[in-house]
Amino acid sequence: MIETIAVSELLIQVLIAIATGGLIGLERERRPRRKFAGLRTLALLCGGGPIAVHIAHQEGQPLVIVIYLGLAAAFALAVVYVRFVLTEEDVGLTTSVTVFLVALLGILVGYEQFFESTSIAIVLVVLLSEKERLHRYVENVSDRELLDSLKLGALVFILYPIVPAAPIDPFGVLSLREVLLFAIFVLLIEFTSYVSMQQLGGSRGLAITGLLAGGANSFAAAGVLARISNQSRDVLDAASAALLLATVSMIVRNTGIAVVLATGLLWALWQPIVAMVGVTVAITIVLWTRGDVYEQFDLDLESPLSLAAAAKFSAAYAAILLVSVVAETWFGNLGLYATAFAGGLVSSAAVAVSAATVFNDGTVGTNQAAGMVVLGITASLTAKIVLVEVVSGRMRSKAAAPMALIAVVGIVVFALT
């Protein structure tokens, strides 16, 4: 009979700590000429963390942990000194800070915070390995982009935690924290799309720009693409295809929001959504294959991160949510659908969120909530058609007419299912 050998918790913790430190040390080994703390050093340093925690608990001497961290800090400073003496280069603190963080990770492992320590180690490796790319990005960051990043950070890390989560309306469906979260979501996808768009150009770049921008703000994307199409007829086909791709992103985004927040809506939505996306993709392929493709288009883009725009969308979300509940109570389905269409003219994403919310609350049924999502998308298409007509009549046949067809297909398929 084979007996199971008991493995002490301390041994497991030390092995995990050594692996954690070794993971970070592997990245340091990639730079042998500038390496002052490599795989073995960081692995052993991290492995000492659980030992220090164990001794501190066994002997009732928490000072042992303080001594361990003090020695790690001294070693980190020694790395700075040795580097300066041997290389006479500018003193870089990255390796020294890494050394101390590895010691802290060892302490976390000693306290059995395995998930936290591993996650931090992975993030640290990514930051260290992407040094050159991050530096290139920072060098190209404008003052406006930096300010936008600070705004977003302030909303996420300062304002969001202190905003009340309790409902503030008599129906118990609206809270300030949910409204702020919606605003943060809008700002985050807009800023992410902007950073991506800055790297793109040409017909293919314009198409990817439409795909990305549509997920952030399809109405704004329509305005930008319509203005671009006015600059030259060479851009018309690519801009029209990009606008249809923005439409695909908008449809997928709204459906994704609704289904993630209320899974029960999937069965009622999948047929009209598949039909709308299928028609849009088919028309886009025809435009792309038959149109002119160019290697380079220079796009002068400004950072889209706007607190005013986020506030507008958040106000629309809150208004749609409240009006939907009131309209359904007073007028039944007719009032609910009218509200969804009116709200979709402002923000179809807000309609999707509102539909999922009232569905989860039991205020409306599956078909009514799904109808709100479809009508929100239809209203968004209607708003973009009007915008394209006003800004650029050139896109009427290649963008406006297809969007009208997409809206009709969605309504018909939903009504028949």
Q: Assess contact for 224 and 213: CB atoms under 8 A.
A: yes
Q: Whose CA is closest to 249, among 205, 211, 276, 275? A: 211
Residue 179's CB is within 10 A of a number of other CB atoms, namely 19
Rg (CA), the chain: 28
Q: Is there a contact between 386 and 378 (Cβ–Cβ < 8 Å)? A: no
Residue 39: CB atoms within 10 Å: 17
Look at 87-91, 93-97, 127-131, 397-401 and tell me which has the smallest mean pLDDT: 87-91
Query: Helix and strand tally (H, E) in the chain?
Result: 17, 0
The pLDDT of residue 48: 92
| pLDDT digit string, tens, across residues 177-227 | 877 877 776 666 556 555 655 565 556 667 777 787 777 777 777 777 777
Per-residue pLDDT tens for 21-66? Answer: 888 888 777 665 555 667 888 889 999 999 999 999 888 888 999 9
* pLDDT tens digits for range 314-324: 776 677 667 65
115 CB-near residues (< 8 Å, 6+ apart): none
Task: Please name the residues in contact with 90: beta carbons below 8 A apart, sequence gap of 6 or more.
Answer: none
Contact 344, 217 (CB under 8 A): no
276 neighbors 406 (Cβ within 8 angstroms): yes
CB-CB neighbours of 309 under 10 Å? 16
3-class DSSP state for residue 140?
coil
To which residue do tokens 């300066």 refer?
A: 84
Distance between CA atoms of residues 214 and 284, nearest Å:
14
| Cβ atoms 364, 328 nearer than 8 A | yes
**C-beta of residue 169 within 8 angstroms of C-beta of residue 152:** no
Mean local confidence (pLDDT), 363-377: 88
Torsions phi, psi of 167, nearest 5? -60, 145
CB distance 74 to 81 below 8 Å: no
Strand, coil or helix: 175? strand
Contact 391, 292 (CB under 8 A): no
Return the number of other C-beta atoms located less than 10 Å from residue 123's C-beta. Answer: 10
Whose structure tokens read 């702020």? 180
CA-CA distance, 52 to 364, in Å (whole number)?
Answer: 58
- Report the pLDDT value the prediction gives residue 32, as an integer from 0 to 100: 53
What tokens appear for 44 in the block?
């052993």
For 218-269, what is each residue's pLDDT tens digit? 777 777 777 777 766 667 888 888 889 989 999 998 998 888 888 888 898 9
